Amino acid sequence: MKLYNLESCPYCIMVREKLDALGLTYEKIDVPIWHSGRKAVFEASGQYTVPVLVVDDLVFDDEEKILRYLEETYEQGAKN
């Protein structure tokens, strides 16, 4: 699981807090503040904005989608 992240981004913070609350292990890839320096994000998701979460062959490119996926997949009682 990889999270493309900008430390000061409030949406990234929300995702990191959810990942941590769920006790999930993930690789945090910090990206530059300038979109022009986010080649890795674009290669992973087709866009330059963060957060982006990559889980195996799944790519989530919006904090709402990421949070929904994490809740549905990893919250207690969710089917895996």
Domain that includes residue 55, residue range: 2-74
* Domain-embedded: residue 80: no
How does the average pLDDT of the chain come out, rounded?
Answer: 94
Rounded distance between C-alpha atoms, residue 26 and residue 2, angstroms: 6
Rounded distance between C-alpha atoms, residue 69 and residue 80, angstroms: 11
pTM listed for this prediction? 0.90
Instruction: Say how many domains are in the chain.
Output: 1
What's the CATH number where 8 sits?
A: 3.40.30.10
The pLDDT value given to residue 76: 72
Rounded distance between C-alpha atoms, residue 6 and residue 71, angstroms: 22
pLDDT digits (tens, 9 = 90+) for 9-48: 999 999 999 999 999 999 999 999 999 999 999 999 999 9
- Would the pLDDT of 78 be above 90? no
* Domain-embedded: residue 41: yes
The pLDDT value given to residue 80: 45
